Structure 1
Amino acid sequence: MPLSILKEPEFLGIVIGLLFGIIAKIMLLRTDYRQYPTYPHGKVIHMSLGVIAAGLGALVVPALLSKEYTAVTFLTLAAQQFRDVRRMERETLTEIDDLELVPRGNAYIEGIAMVFEGRNYLVIFSALIASLFTVLFVWYWGVVAGILSLLVAKMFQKGKSIEHIADVHIADVKIEDPDLFVESIYIMNVGLREDIEIIKENGVGLVLTPKNDNSKVTLSGLGQRQALLHNLSTLLGVYRDSGEPTLIPMAKLDLESGKLAIFILPREKDPQKILRAVKGAPIVENSVRMPTEAYKGGKA
């Protein structure tokens, strides 16, 4: 390779764009308490797709400047590939959801699949921006633009959590044979004496008070409730085994006030950890509702 090619803006643009695209993918891809994506094979799959996305983003600008307009059509193929990633994640999580003691639910699964697709587009964005500024200006402006694009990608990494839409407090769990209540909100009927004793010893109640009308509708969504229960069970553990429907965590709505009562049987019963787990639980994008937006200056 002639050394002169290393000074070509197009070549530098591809290299710097590819570099920042890969950095963006590394930054956005992590295995957290949910253990997803799995390590190492799940990460290998997603990193490979991330490198492809970074390469596509880095090649767009040099291809356009070289008047190779047909090369841009590869972006449509990339979009199709990333839609396939979304479908793959949806199918994988749906298959294993039946094996969870507390399932994620379809809304949470679709939200996770959407995130994995969307983050590949953020990788393309970072690579394209770094490549664009490198080719049009000089390499250090490409580096600056790449760093700024990483900050933008980081902003999209984390969405809102429960603490943004509701106030949370620990509530009393009451059993009035055979009915189970969290404060005054009815949860379920408990028939077996053994289950009643387990609930009295290990049960924890929580009440989420929505901050506005939009929050009421979001919390009332079954998908959001199921995602919240799965998140709590993953973080705090769950005192149950398969074939014990009475001991499954539940969330019920107070139709009068819009409050959401949660009943759980956690392995970890530290009140501060429980509150942090609830407040930090993610809001499922598919469950977000904004009915007040339909009313100009009024209430829903």
Structure 2
Amino acid sequence: MNKEWISTEHIIMIVTAVLVGTMARIFTVKEDFRQYPSFPNGYLIQLVTGFIAASLGAVAIPALMTKNFVAVTFLALAIQQFRDVRKAERESLKDLEDTEYAYRGAAYIDGISKTFEARNYFALIVSFTTSLTIQLVNTKYNWINILAGILVGFIVFYILKRFSKGKTIGDIAEVERGTVTIKDSELFVEGIFISNLLGFDHASDLFEKEGIAVIIKPNEEHLRITLDNFGQRQAALFEATKAIGVKRYHFFRRDFEKGGFIITLVPIIKDIDRLIEAVKKTPLLESTKKSKATMDTNLAGKK
């Protein structure tokens, strides 16, 4: 019985592509200020799915070269699996909502789950282009083929990473310290009414002594649309409470006159700089983004 063995060239191609694709996934899995994914189980899940994605991208070219078209259909199956990863991520984060200081909110959870799905496509695309480059270069020197594949793979990874990089609140708004004051059990920040829920003297004294606040002001008028979105404000509150904790009470309130909003709380760690940094680095949610150029064009067309 004749056995068909995979060629040495194809083995080199697949191994190189899998390694480059997996590295691309590793570079995008990091425990940042949002502390997600968690260490170590969150890392393991994301790295394993990244390895699988890289493997699928790596074998596509050898499968086509050997006319094994059935194997290529696994790419369609992979896309469905990555969608399931997004669904599982969304359900997991929703299950944790009641355990947090403040809710992430449905919009923020949707954005996080989409991000993790997209990063698996990073691994697949980078692996595929690495494999394709090695096949196209195809010199008699394997080390030249490998270097060319690695170079193109990382260039593609850089382009994808730049393309998918989103903005943060700090890119569109100023985040400044706010002054907390209590007047007859009512809470104000910079003279703006926040809440009248501080009915007990103990609560009022606690907020007056330990409460801190930040004011988020949009850089341009049209950016008020983004900052006034409830999901965006909820995401900022979540990151604020995650960064410094909550001893008791947390509020956010829109500034109807100047735009933007205010976050105030009694933190576990009283560090205003950390609070400001956390709010600045809160990602802008895809569901809140509006293109001013597109809006202007649409308005002009209706005149």
Same fold (TM over 0.5): yes
Q: Give 1:67 deviation, angstroms.
A: 2.9
Give the total of aligned pairs.
Answer: 290
**Aligned: 1:183 with 2:190:** yes
Superposition pairs of residues 216-231 of structure 1, within 5 angstroms: 216-231=224-239
Relative to structure 1, the CA distance from residue 114 to residue 260 in structure 2 (aligned partners, 3 Å threshold; closer, same or farther) is same
Which residue is equivalent to 2:80? 80
**Aligned: 1:134 with 2:134:** yes
Which residue is equivalent to 2:104? 104
Q: Could you list the per-position Cα deviations for residues 102-126 of structure 1 after superposition, in whole angstroms to 9, with x for gaps in the alignment?
A: 2211111111111110100011111
Residue range with higher mean Cα deviation, 202-211 or 119-128? 202-211
Residue range with higher mean Cα deviation, 117-126 or 28-37? 28-37
Q: Give 1:36 deviation, angstroms.
A: 2.6
Which residue is equivalent to 1:244? none
Which residue is equivalent to 1:203? 211
Q: Give 1:270 deviation, angstroms.
A: 3.2
2:169/2:279 contact within 8 Å kept: yes
CA distance, structure 2, for counterparts of residue 239 and residue 100 of structure 1 = 13
Which residue is equivalent to 1:19? 19
2:174/2:218 contact within 8 Å kept: yes
1:214/1:290 contact within 8 Å kept: no
Which residue is equivalent to 2:171? 164
Relative to structure 1, the CA distance from residue 214 to residue 120 in structure 2 (aligned partners, 3 Å threshold; closer, same or farther) is farther
Q: Could you list the per-position Cα deviations for residues 155-193 of structure 1 after superposition, in whole angstroms to 9, with x for gaps in the alignment?
A: 357421111010121111122223212113221112222
TM-score when normalising by structure 2: 0.87
Which residue is equivalent to 1:289? 290
Among 170, 173, 196, the residue aligned to 2:180? 173
**Aligned: 1:268 with 2:269:** yes
1:292/1:298 contact within 8 Å kept: no
Q: SS of the residue aligned with 1:262?
A: strand
Relative to structure 1, the CA distance from residue 223 to residue 81 in structure 2 (aligned partners, 3 Å threshold; closer, same or farther) is same
Q: Give 1:206 deviation, angstroms.
A: 1.4
Which residue is equivalent to 1:250? 251
CA distance, structure 2, for counterparts of residue 94 and residue 195 of structure 1 = 31
CA distance, structure 1, for counterparts of residue 35 and residue 276 of structure 2 = 22
Instruction: Give 1:159's aligned amino acid.
Output: G
Residue range with higher mean Cα deviation, 103-112 or 127-136? 103-112
CA distance, structure 1, for counterparts of residue 60 and residue 265 of structure 2 = 51
**Aligned: 1:215 with 2:217:** no
Q: Give 1:50 deviation, angstroms.
A: 1.1
Q: Could you list the per-position Cα deviations for residues 71-93 of structure 1 after superposition, in whole angstroms to 9, with x for gaps in the alignment?
A: 22211111110110011011111
CA distance, structure 1, for counterparts of residue 74 and residue 134 of structure 2 = 22
TM-score when normalising by structure 1: 0.88
CA distance, structure 1, for counterparts of residue 6 and residue 49 of structure 2 = 31
CA distance, structure 1, for counterparts of residue 81 and residue 5 of structure 2 = 35
Residue range with higher mean Cα deviation, 288-297 or 38-47? 288-297
Relative to structure 1, the CA distance from residue 82 to residue 214 in structure 2 (aligned partners, 3 Å threshold; closer, same or farther) is farther
Gaps of 5+ in 2: 138-144
Which residue is equivalent to 1:152? 159
Gaps of 5+ in 1: 241-246
CA distance, structure 2, for counterparts of residue 77 and residue 214 of structure 1 = 42
Which residue is equivalent to 2:141? none
Residue range with higher mean Cα deviation, 32-41 or 178-187? 32-41
CA distance, structure 2, for counterparts of residue 269 and residue 200 of structure 1 = 13
Instruction: Give 2:136's aligned amino acid.
Output: L
CA distance, structure 2, for counterparts of residue 236 and residue 147 of structure 1 = 37
Q: Give 1:297 deviation, angstroms.
A: 9.4
CA distance, structure 1, for counterparts of residue 41 and residue 112 of structure 2 = 18
CA distance, structure 2, for counterparts of residue 50 and residue 128 of structure 1 = 13
